Structure 1
Amino acid sequence: MSTIQSITPIPFNVSAKTNWFFISVQMSDGRHAWGEASLNGWEAALQTATPLHAQPLIGLSAESAIAQLRPSPALPGGLVSNAVISALAQALWTIRAQEEDMPLHTALAPLQRKAVPVYANINRATTDRTPAGFAATAKRAAQAGFEGFKAAPFDGVTPAQCATGDAEQHIQHGIDCLYAIREAVGPQAKLMVDCHWRFDEKSALSTLRRLESIGLHWFECPMAETYDNWDSLRRIKDQANQQNVLVAAAETQVGVAAFEMQIREKLLDVVMPDIKYCGGPAQMLGIAEMAASHGVMFAPHNPTGPICTVASLHVACVARGAHMLELQFDESPLYDALIGHQHPVLRNGKYQVPNTTGLGVDLDKKTLAAHPFKPVPFGIETLLAN
């Protein structure tokens, strides 16, 4: 019986703003697999947490190790610990599929669809943060074959500024950027905006009204999905739905249980579990199935590296419902350098299901070694928590 021989964390610098964080699991029979735990700015904590969660798994089979993984919002290590656990789950489920000589999706559940719609997150590729800059990136994504586009143009907005009325200039700039994107991609394209929890209720409702003529597909993460904000989120959702706009959120939630109340309460039209945080492939599939049972859409959150992309695609192909899959667009050529021709090809705005054994992609170790960790700014989650 093959057992876990080693577990190695590997941070990888992508750009001045971004690191990705991968975890390699090596088995005694020579098999290996990757998981992704990217959490911008927290690489040192991920590096420390990996051996804490990995050491008890050394010497176990992949199946036994999977049974030991227990993601939970209550873990002392918080999102850092859950990111490590989620990455370990990605790798171990991949190895389990390799041992059975089947694709990862086959190890999870029966295939429901052969292709999944993909939309381009154009935010980090847009270094020129003007309306013209966002429009130019959107045009490049459209030329690459994407039919859905998402941006986060409300730079500098915070809930505290909204409460004092000091955010208006930043909000108007973001609105101008979204109108420029709409003009660039045309009226039929799906256009989403990620608000990154920057608003209070009043500013979220006002922004929605000012965007009514733009034809948004969804309004993402207007406020933190905490219990104290539930009534506000209900009112925001009511306003959005009156405008034929969906509300999407919940990218940092962990485990099926954490999603249950939000799904049952129908606070959201679309839940966006992230395979890097929610607990891995099986947990993500459980969340998707619960969402389908309650008439809530499932659209995996996926703004980072290729392991997260392909693992999320495997889950989306077997979930009862899969609305769309996110892809970070053109932040860095290192995305393609890591996996090259192994990556799914975009056809008619969709990715086809991988049909090779395991995950279907491997990372290029020379590329990993050539771009070691560099300090980067914290992600927006950390900045708004201060």
Structure 2
Amino acid sequence: MTAVDRIEHARLRVLRITDKTHWVFLELAFASGATGLGEASLHGRERLLVDAALAHLPAWLGGAPLPDFDRPVPLPLATIATAFDVACRDAAARREGKPLAAALGAPAEVRIPLYANINRRTRDRTPAGHAASAEDALAAGFAAVKIAPFDEVTPALSDDAEGRAALERGLERIAAVRGALGGEHRLLVDCHWRFAPDLAWRLVEAVREHDLYWLECPVAETQAHIPLLADMRRALNASGTLLAGLEEFSGAPAFLAFAEAYDVMMPDMKYVGGVDEMLRTGRALADRGIAVSPHNPTGPVCHAASLHLSAALPGFSMLEVQFDETPLFFDLGRPSLPGFAGGASDLPIAAGLGLDLDEEQAERLCVLDLTLRPSP
């Protein structure tokens, strides 16, 4: 950043999207008139995010360095730092008059394969409700669907009668969705770290009959669980299922520490550390034969950034999208994001990320609006 184009201020806004969902956006305004946009949504941890922004953004606005992602960085700090970096890169690409993907050297004519996360749009949590959502995703052109079926499972449950009953409720939802998808479409199952190790092993055995494409985040992602995850990976691979995870990690070294544990890793453009850190992570994982499938279940700004980075990302496989949670996914951005025709997306074509927020909509939804300026 040059002195001529210093950052004059940052605006952090929290928008209430549904009773379950808040999206958080960071906007930077530069002295030249350039602007940049990033997303910092952090589900259920907005207070921690705001605290990190208040503590660190004024220094970054004045030119202080971002955190060193070669070392562990707390998630709220990683989130606001990633949004800051994305907003700076958005502004830089806008100055060049190029879409971010083009500024990164990616081909312009590319379609990004998507899979539909149907979890939040599935208000009817019965097996039939999950199957109906999966059918809607198929009708919209998706060939891969992800569900989070284990509502009743918690890490406190063991492989006993209570734990098995909770597991069975989730397996009934999986069976219903597999029936809706048929055998030719990919089914992905997200566990959200809900399983204790003993019940997780029963899960691994039970899902064999359902022909999952991948199983995601079965147990807490700690260093102590790396051997367990590696063993689970081998067992799943023996029946043709991949093991995926690490959606809330930041910095390439943190991902590499789990290289033996996962077939697919899921860096997120809200948490990973920024544009260059996402590319560095992708290169490091691709070198080790690990597929990269960015985590992307939130708002339109992260989706735009994820589309651009997916076009340039080594080892890229497919991109998540939160399917049909709210029309605001398309209505909040101007111009609107490309659609999901055929289960894939074109890249945004305008400069930078390719969108701004619709101010009328943003003002109506806003529940917190902070303006921060550089430290003296």
Q: Name the structure 2 match of 1:288.
A: 282
Aligned to 1:6, which of 6, 9, 16?
9
Q: Which has the higher helix share?
A: 1
Q: Name the structure 2 match of 1:274.
A: 268
Q: Distance in 1 between matches of 2:161 and 2:289?
A: 37
Q: TM-score when scaled to structure 2?
A: 0.92
Q: Name the structure 2 match of 1:188.
A: 184
Any conservation in 1 of the 2:101–2:108 contact (CA below 8 Å)?
Answer: no
Q: Name the structure 2 match of 1:378.
A: none
For 1:199, the aligned partner's letter is F
Which aligned segments of 4 or more residues in structure 1 are displaced greater than 4 angstroms? Answer: none
Aligned to 1:200, which of 196, 199, 202?
196
Any conservation in 2 of the 1:302–1:327 contact (CA below 8 Å)?
Answer: yes
Q: Distance in 1 between matches of 2:129 and 2:68?
A: 43
Match status 1:302 vs 2:296: yes
Any conservation in 1 of the 2:72–2:254 contact (CA below 8 Å)?
Answer: no
CA displacement, residues 316-345 of structure 1 (integer Å, 9 cap, x when unaligned): 101122111000011122222202652122
Q: Name the structure 1 match of 2:96.
A: 100
Q: How does 1:49-198 map to 2 (within 5 A)?
A: 49-58=52-61, 60=63, 68-71=66-69, 74-75=72-73, 78-111=74-107, 114-162=110-158, 165-198=161-194
Q: Distance in 2 between matches of 1:129 and 1:173?
A: 10
Q: Structure 1 vs Structure 2: percent identity of aligned residues?
A: 36
Q: Distance in 2 between matches of 1:26 and 1:341?
A: 20
Q: TM-score when scaled to structure 1?
A: 0.90
For 1:169, the aligned partner's letter is A
CA displacement, residues 108-135 of structure 1 (integer Å, 9 cap, x when unaligned): 3443971221001000111111001101
Q: 1:68 to 1:145 in 2, by over 3 A?
A: same
CA displacement, residues 296-332 of structure 1 (integer Å, 9 cap, x when unaligned): 0000001111111110111110112211100001112
Q: Name the structure 2 match of 1:363.
A: 357
Q: CA deviation at 1:166?
A: 2.3
Q: How does 1:15-30 map to 2 (within 5 A)?
A: 15-30=18-33
Once structures 1 and 2 are overlaid, which stretch shifts more, 207-216 or 231-240?
A: 207-216
Superposition RMSD in Å: 1.9
Q: 1:32 to 1:219 in 2, by over 3 A?
A: same
Structure 2 residues not aligned, in runs of 5+: 369-376
Q: CA deviation at 1:10?
A: 0.3
For the residue of structure 2 that corresponds to 1:323, the secondary structure is coil
Once structures 1 and 2 are overlaid, which stretch shifts more, 40-49 or 158-167?
A: 158-167
Q: How does 1:210-229 map to 2 (within 5 A)?
A: 210-229=206-225
Any conservation in 2 of the 1:71–1:85 contact (CA below 8 Å)?
Answer: no
Q: 1:176 to 1:122 in 2, by over 3 A?
A: same
Aligned to 1:235, which of 231, 235, 240?
231
Q: 1:112 to 1:258 in 2, by over 3 A?
A: farther
Match status 1:329 vs 2:327: no
Match status 1:254 vs 2:238: no
